[in-house]
Amino acid sequence: MILRWTLRNVFAERGSLLAATGGIAVSLLLVLVLDGMFAGEAERIVAFLRDSGADVWVMQPGVANVHMASSLVRADLVADVSAVSGVAAVTPILYVSGFVSAGGREWFSYIVGRHADDELGAPRRMAVGAPSARPGEAIIPDVVAKESGIGVGDAVSFLGRDFRVAGISSGTYSMANSVTFASYEDLADLLSAPNGASYLLVKAANGVDAKTLAERIETAVSGVDALPAGELIDRDRRLALQMGVDVIRVMTWIGSLVAALVVAFTVYSAITTRTRELAVAKSLGAPARSLHGAVVLHAIVLLSLGYGAAGAMAIALREVVLRALPQIALRYTASTLSILALVATTLALVAAIVPARRVARVDPALVFRR
């Protein structure tokens, strides 16, 4: 009966239910979106590294990043690295950070020069056009193309030279950077490094562990450092997030605080409005555990509805953002969803404790109030 009574109370007043559920849903959605932006951006920042296909990155000694880093090694080391046991393929790339001018706007970008026929370092997905740039050509991210209003065949410029857009790639844009591909020859010419490479991307043979291979390369080839791709990705992600995405992290914390207050206040208010009825139930002989159960159930039902609504809204919002604001990536992780559910549940229960304690020590004036 306590269960039925509580559920009736929750669902009887639709306006209150909508307000409470909506309040909780919107506040949880705020956290989900902010954290989703954070997680999405964190993934996009390292998308090129992750999608390059390399298991080991070889670079100038003392360099341990790609983001905001500069590296130069001899291009003829490709042969030395290829000779290391466990190496399946080696691809040299040139890399420089710079601004790409497109459609009257400028975009901060990693500019990557690679040989058209090389296996590694190519964009993973193409929206349109060729996956590799030949001399005089460039491949730009889809977000840059869309925001700049340019397409295949249009001109972009970087490092003081004009290029024709040969292809538009997907998954190569983040708010912190974008990745523009050019031919190896063009970039070698622009960087005046005809015999140099920034990084050597190494594909490991089947069954060879990346960490072991990196150690073998460092031992066998002098004058280079080698990092497993996973480690490089982690280092770059940390560096990039430290530099730019901290703002989103702060916003996420603020959003979480606001959400916590909204969830707690909503649950507290919803249950406080029932205090008199709970007191009546107590006067009729309902034991304290039943009253506490009713309060907890009320809080959990409200929270579950709010959480469900927040989830549905978050999924819908991700689809809308994907179409309307492609520069923003929303990524909802299982850990965020779990932590949010746990924290919100804890908050709701804590918020329910105050009215529950009040009911447990019912003021008789409440039941006798006229």
| Shortest reach from residue 290's CB to other proteins, in Å | 7
CB of 168 to other proteins, least distance (A): 59
Q: Which C-beta is closer to other proteins: that of 284 or that of 334? A: 284
In whole angstroms, the minimum distance from the beta carbon of 233 to other proteins comes to 56
* Residue 140, helix vs strand vs coil: strand
CB closer to other proteins out of 323 and 370: 370
Name the residue nearer to other proteins (CB basis): 61 or 364: 364
Please state whether beta strands 178-183 and 105-114 pair in parallel, antiparallel, or not at all (unpaired).
parallel
Q: How far apart are CB 287 and other proteins at their closest, in Å?
A: 4
Least distance from other proteins to the Cβ atom of residue 329, Å = 45
Pairing verdict, β 125-129 and 87-102: unpaired
Distance CA(367)–CA(23), nearest Å, equals: 30
Length of the chain: 370
What is the separation, in whole angstroms, between the first and last Cα of the chain?
Answer: 26
Nearer to other proteins, 6 or 174 (CB): 6
Place of tokens 């039925």: 4
When the beta carbons of 12 and 324 are compared against other proteins, the nearer one is 12
The answer to whether 93 and 78 have CB atoms below 8 angstroms apart is no
The residue (of 195 and 368) whose beta carbon lies closer to other proteins is 368
H-state helical runs in the chain: 2-12, 14-45, 47-51, 77-82, 142-148, 184-190, 210-220, 229-240, 246-272, 275-283, 288-324, 334-360, 364-368
Closest separation in Å from C-beta 292 to other proteins: 12
Binding site for other proteins (CB under 8 A): 1, 4-5, 8-9, 12, 276-277, 280-288, 290, 360, 362, 364-365, 367-370
Q: Which helix (H) or strand (E) element contains residue 166?
A: strand 161-170
